[in-house]
Amino acid sequence: MATTVKTVSRPAGLRRQTYLVAIAEGLWVTVRHLMRNWIGNTLGRRSKTGIATLSYPEEKKAYPERNRGLHRLMKREDGQVRCVACMMCPTVCPAHCITIVPEESPDGGIEKRPRIFEIDELRCVVCGLCVEACPCDAIRMDTHMHAWPTIRRADAILDKVELLSRGGPSTATQGGVGPFWREKVKS
């Protein structure tokens, strides 16, 4: 079987071969947006495109209400950690940034608790799956804080004491609002 070669001709004309017109059109769009935003911000008003510039150290943009911030561990009414070391959060974590070492509770009960609870914030992808997987509302990400810069990697690993310092008492109730939550919201 013989192979055939298909000859393809180049675009006709110098204008199409060099792409100078396409490059000039792209540069014109860039310069037009640059001038529109520069003039709008210089005159102290928002430009027609709606782009506004913040002077960052002086002005800070507020986080949205549902922003996922740094993790925190919740406490029970008696001040103990709410986590029962069920290992759901490290199991569901796609980044494998949660480390839990369980221990038996000191009062001899059947419930476990975490002896070591660590989260590596440099590995965390802020997906929130750990919060969704927790059956006892022990971990949350509603601190409205983002991870701070660190010099050493060890400074970005948050331990149980650090996570509990951000957490307050949990107001969650067992069972939630039930299957008819839409009816309860309307009334």
State the chain's mean pLDDT as an integer: 82
Q: Please enumerate in sequence order all residues whose Cβ is within 8 A of that of 19, keeping only pairs 6 or more positions apart, or say none.
A: none
Q: Chain-centre distance of CA 66, in angstroms? A: 11
Q: Give the percent of the chain with pLDDT over 70.
A: 81
Query: For the chain, what is the largest distance between any 2 Cα atoms, rounded to a whole number of angstroms?
Result: 87
Supply the pLDDT for residue 173. 54
Break the chain into its structural domains and give their ranges.
Answer: 14-56, 72-166
Supply the pLDDT for residue 154. 92
Residue 138 CB burial class (10 angstroms; 0-12, 13-18, ≥19): buried
Top-level CATH class of 72-166?
alpha beta
Convert the pLDDT of each residue in 22-49 to its tens digit.
Answer: 899 999 999 998 887 777 666 665 545 5
Q: What is the mean pLDDT of residues 71-94?
A: 91
Residue 125 CB burial class (10 angstroms; 0-12, 13-18, ≥19): exposed
Q: Is the pLDDT of residue 20 over 90?
A: no
Supply the pLDDT for residue 47. 47
Supply the pLDDT for residue 33. 85
Q: Is the pLDDT of residue 60 over 70?
A: yes
Convert the pLDDT of each residue in 83-105 to its tens digit.
Answer: 999 999 999 999 999 999 999 98
Say what the pTM is: 0.62
Q: What is the mean pLDDT of residues 157-178?
A: 74
Supply the pLDDT for residue 186. 59
Question: Residue 172 is encoded by which pair of tokens?
Answer: 């969650």
Backbone φ and ψ of 58, nearest 5°: -80, -45
